[in-house]
Amino acid sequence: MKNISDLIAGIKALKEKHSAVIFAHNYQLPEIQDIADFVGDSLELARQAKNSSARVIVLCGVYFMAETAKILNPTKTVLILDELSGCPLADCITPTQLEKLIRENPGVPVVAYVNTSAAVKALSSVCCTSANAVEVVNALPEEKIIFIPDKNLGHFVQQQTQKKLIIYPGQCFTHAKLTAAEVKKVKELHPRAIFLAHPECPPPVQELAEVIASTSQMLKYVRNSPAREFIIGTEMGLLHRLQNENPDKKFYLASPSLICPNMKKNNLTKLLASLKNFTYEVKISEDIRQSAYQAIEKMFTLTKK
Ligand code: CIZ
């Protein structure tokens, strides 16, 4: 068992040796965020991966995020720290289930949240993230849209658009745990605080929010807000960045249950091992990768400013 400074020194040396970059999601442990070259949400990580000139990308997040980096960078080595850091939301829908939905709704385009497998993306018309879901849906010419796999994000988008969404009934089990009763209690304790909820939270929680936002939107909102106190309704990892970027503001997690066990499978020991042994390499068959690439590229095209 190495101490933390040995781990950090080892990671930095191997990173240099392999011309690697470390990307971390906003929900990662503080020590992973601190050593990363870039920290962001899945849209920012995807954009960063697309523009990276590094030979090796180490993705500290969950599996679909590493797959997205590989889809955009087929010639690079993409590593994930733990093979088992999946995403139960992404696992909610299989290619067979999506094929059935498409057969039942001929001609209706599929908007797939990036929290899906490469094989599901490959069957979809376009991807979206929580930061751009409304924009993607509104940019499509069709009036009826299949939205997969998160029903709470689907509910949020449905409130913001005139289009008719056919919403798949999946959900993120971490965000789904947050209840309106818990939020009301925290609001009572901190009456001046603004409540920011992630759109993966259930509708009764969304109704209590002053702001419904993705993690990147929460960071931006807090940065620009004159308020001093905020209740955060998303995975606890975001508090590290919020607090670092806003040392004079106060943050309260809406519930202690807002911890994603898969995001928290990653740690510095596994990061060192990943760079040392090139584990675990993400591989995607070329036909699936090419089709999934189209869906991600279309998201970038539709949301180009
Ligand atoms: O899109 C992402 O990265 C997720 C999973 C949450 C968010 O809002 O950033």
Pick the CATH number of 178-253 from 3.30.70.260, 3.40.50.300, 3.40.50.10800, 3.90.420.10: 3.40.50.10800
Q: Report yes or no: 122 and 297 within 8 Å, Cβ to Cβ.
A: no
Whether 305 shows a pLDDT value over 60: the answer reads no
Q: Which residues contact 231 (CB under 8 A, 6 or more apart)?
A: 183, 186, 187, 190, 193, 194, 195, 196, 251, 252, 253, 254
- Closest residue by Cα to atom 8, ligand 1, is 214
Percent of the chain with pLDDT over 70: 99
- Closest residue by Cα to atom 1, ligand 1, is 42
CATH superfamily of 4-85+263-283: NadA-like (3.40.50.10800)
Give me the residues paired with residue 126 across strands: 111
pLDDT at 47: 84
Ligand 1 atom with least separation from CA of 45: 3
Of 22-31, 168-177, 295-304, where does mean pLDDT reach its minimum? 295-304
Cα separations in angstroms, 92 against 83, 87, 95, 172, 189: 18, 9, 10, 9, 36
What average pLDDT does range 94-98 have in this prediction? 98
Domain residue ranges in the chain: 4-85+263-283, 89-171+287-302, 178-253
Whether 175 shows a pLDDT value over 90: the answer reads yes
Ligand 1 atom with least separation from CA of 172: 5
CATH code that applies to domain 89-171+287-302: 3.40.50.10800
- What does the mean pLDDT of the chain come to? 97
User: Tens digit of pLDDT for each residue in 104-148?
Assistant: 999 999 999 999 999 999 999 999 999 999 999 999 999 999 999
CA of 1 relative to ligand 1 center, distance in Å: 32
- Around ligand 1, the residues with Cβ closer than 6 Å are 26, 41-42, 115, 129-130, 198, 214-216
CA-based nearest residue to 172, from 237, 113, 89: 89
CA of 301 relative to ligand 1 center, distance in Å: 20
Task: For residue 287, give both structure tokens.
Answer: 């036909």
Whether 94 shows a pLDDT value over 80: the answer reads yes
Mutate to test the pocket of ligand 1, among 43, 129, 236 (most ligand atoms within 8 A of CB): 129
How confident is residue 42, by pLDDT bands cut at 50, 70 and 90? confident
How far, in Å, CA of 280 to CA of 261, rounded?
Answer: 19
Give me the sign of the Cα torsion angle 207, 130, 245, 222. negative
pLDDT at 1: 63
User: Tens digit of pLDDT for each residue in 206-261?
Assistant: 999 999 999 999 999 999 999 999 999 999 999 999 999 999 999 999 999 999 99
- Say what the pTM is: 0.96
User: Tens digit of pLDDT for each residue in 275-287?
Assistant: 999 999 999 999 9
Ligand 1 atom with least separation from CA of 25: 3
CA-based nearest residue to 150, from 85, 64, 224: 64
pLDDT at 247: 98
